[in-house]
Chain A
Amino acid sequence: MIKIENLHVEVDGKAILKGINLTINAGEVHAIMGPNGSGKSTLSNVIAGRNGYTVTQGSIRYFDQDLLEMKPEERAWAGIFLAFQYPVEIPGVNNTYLLKAGVNARRRQQGLEELDAMDFMQMVQEKARLVELDPAFLSRSVNVGFSGGEKKRNEIFQMAVLEPKLALLDETDSGLDIDALRIVAGGINKLRNPERAIVMITHYQRLLDYITPDFVHVLANGEILTSGDAKLAHKLEKEGYDWLLEKDTAA
């Protein structure tokens, strides 16, 4: 689905990613772990198309297209979704309106008819139940007056509505209490399917107690130091990142 090769990225002239290689196929769940400042969020932001990141080397192919040539909205239409680490508050823009505009823009791109208001509302209410989001939130401004946990739940709700092929979840677990984490993780698990790839960016094992990844990658200092399966995450939980970082310096 997506193939990242030798990706080098700079922010304000500073090298953040230094040669990332990563291939993700449909149906897979990947966890990208690593200490703060290792470049995890940069990777997801570059894939989603956020401004301010300069790719100096390497490539990202997505369904055999040059992803880096695409605008953020084109990436969304092609099925990429980013759950924000810090969901943005947008006073005056209604939650439902945002989703309806997003869904219909994508349908137009695909040559499909726009959903009518009734069908859309029904679909949205169904998806809201998935993350136990109070339907009252649907008619409110995007993220305005939401608690930290509600914002994260709203991100997963949006994911459910937009039905991405590739979902990037940037620290969706941070700032959640245990109940909220359980609900969010439950929602994500229900959205797992053979056509969809999910990338979870986190520095805690916590989320992975609920969602078992197929692959775990450790990103530090702009490079993937090691990759493995779910067992790697348990090892990191017990031993921290130090053993990896030391190995890196020794090498």
Chain B
Amino acid sequence: MLTNNAPQQLTGIALPSLQDEDWKYTSLSPLVAALGAAWWQQRAGTPVATPSELTLDSIRINAATASCDRALPDGVTLRPWRESDHGLFDLPPAPPLPYSAKLARALADGGICLCIADGVELEQPILITHPEATGSSARLHGIHIGAGTNATLIDHFHGVATGAGVGTSLCQIRLQANAALDHYRIQQNSASHFHLGRIEIGQHRDSRYRLFAAELGSALSRLDLVTTLLEQGAECTLNGLMVLAGRQHADHHLHINHAAPHCRSRVHYRTVADDRARVVFNGAVRVAKGANGTDSAQTNANLLLSKRAQVDTKPELEIYNDDVKCAHGATVGQLDAEQLFYLQSRGIAKAEARQLLTIAFAEALLDTVAIPELRKVIEQAIMAKLPHGA
């Protein structure tokens, strides 16, 4: 376990303000209001034993205890995170660390290091459960995927409301040559929880990283994802589905670094915001000077179910090369009145018709979930969040 000397380390880390470009639309003041000005000193409670609702056949790891429910398959090792592990995962150039990374490192009180050796084919997905706790908890995780290895990883952040809590996590992932990782990240924390997450990925030659992020829970949730396509042929697909209601706030900042030639990146995010929910999406792509033949595309579609819901979406392209293909597009809209009337005229009640059209909007992304049980859980969670009588 790491020592939690957060108060000292945090002395140079002011909370980001709205003047900070990266935090322009996300204020952490609700967090301070819920947990107090010295929120990081709130000792984390023991996570309430709520088993992850995901019952699918998987190798199950508890991130809070760094333990696994069974003997790990050959080629897979698991141990608690150590300070020196940063040396394995950090990518040059050396930081100035952004806020979310500084925060996680300063507060870290545990985490796991999961390594899968070269050439391993796992039959089951690995499910890492992140049960929420009251107070402040922070984790550092390292995931190493060996050359030619194929793996599926499901991160499940979940919990029940027992009091205000904030979970901070930094997950560093390294994909060796020709490795492939399907990464599902399901955030279903309770409404009294705050979630500040960061993922840093380094991708070597011909590796493939595929993210499916479902953003469903928490009062406020932020994810910063940075992937660096280090060597040619690397590929990343970042898919995200955010469904928010009440006064929920979710913010995803993606940052794709095309550092090598002939790499490919795809981003497809869809968000549904009801009531007074607020969504922030920022998709940054940086193409380095030598990254010839870069192929990058991003789309972001947003559906507002209420007049008071709000979305801020922004692509950010920084291109230092002429030989690139970079496409981006964003839309913000409401449910289509014609479609709604069509369904009603066929005998489907308005509230149900709204649900149906909202799920239909999410379908394009749900279709990318390759595990049927997981898809079902996400779909049901979305259904449960949608208004029943509108």
Contacts and interface: CB of A to CB of B under 8 A. Distances in A.
A103 B347 contact: yes
Given A91-B360, A92-B361, A92-B363, A73 B342 contact: no
Nearest to B353: A73
A98 B348 contact: yes
A162 B345 CA distance: 11
Nearest to B337: A51
A90 B346 contact: no
Contacts of B344: 49, 71-73, 76
A93 B361 CA distance: 9
B132 to A, nearest CB: 32
A102 interface: yes
Nearest to A142: B342
A101 to B, nearest CB: 5
B342 A106 contact: no
A46 to B, nearest CB: 13
Interface in A98-130: 98-99, 101-103, 105-106
A101 B344 CA distance: 10
Contacts of B347: 73, 76-77, 101-103, 105-106, 162
A50 interface: yes
A219 interface: no
Interface in B333-390: 336-339, 341-350, 352-353, 356-357, 359-364
B348 A101 contact: yes
Nearest to A92: B360
A142 B342 CA distance: 10
Interface string B139-177: 000000000000000000000000000000000000000
A203 B165 CA distance: 66
Contact of A81 (B345, B350, B361): B345
B59 to A, nearest CB: 33
A158 interface: yes
A82 interface: yes
Interface string A71-99: 11101110001101001101111000011
A218 interface: no
Contacts, number: 78
A127 B47 CA distance: 56
What class of interface size applies to chain B in its complex with A?
20 to 34
Nearest to A80: B345
| Of listed B336, B343, B350, B359, residue having the most chain A CB within 10 A | B343
A84 B359 contact: no
B364 A48 contact: no
| Of listed A82, A87, A93, A102, residue having the most chain B CB within 10 A | A93
Nearest to B351: A73
A90 B348 contact: no
B287 to A, nearest CB: 32
Interface in A181-231: none
Contacts of A93: 343, 356-357, 360
Nearest to B343: A98
A162 B364 contact: no
Contact of A99 (B346, B353, B357): B346
A202 B250 CA distance: 51
B339 A162 contact: no
Given A51-B337, A90-B339, A93-B360, A98 B346 contact: yes
B337 A102 contact: no
Contacts of B353: 73
Contact of A102 (B348, B350, B360, B362): B348
A143 B44 CA distance: 53
Given A51-B337, A93-B357, A101 B345 contact: no
Nearest to A78: B347
Given A73-B349, A98-B348, A88 B342 contact: yes
Nearest to B367: A92
A88 B360 CA distance: 14
Contact of A76 (B338, B339, B345, B364): B345
| Of listed B339, B342, B346, residue having the most chain A CB within 10 A | B346
Contacts of A75: 345
B309 to A, nearest CB: 20
B262 to A, nearest CB: 33
A205 B362 CA distance: 44
A106 B345 CA distance: 11
B348 A73 contact: yes
29 contacts: A49-B345, A50-B341, A71-B344, A72-B344, A73-B345, A73-B349, A76-B345, A76-B347, A81-B345, A82-B345, A88-B336, A88-B339, A88-B342, A90-B343, A91-B360, A91-B363, A92-B357, A92-B360, A92-B362, A93-B357, A101-B346, A101-B348, A102-B346, A102-B347, A102-B348, A105-B347, A106-B347, A141-B360, A162-B346
9 closest Cβ pairs, A-B complex: A92-B360, A76-B347, A102-B347, A92-B363, A72-B344, A102-B346, A88-B342, A73-B344, A105-B347
Given A81-B345, A92-B359, A162-B346, 6 more contacts: A72-B341, A72-B345, A84-B342, A101-B346, A102-B346, A142-B342
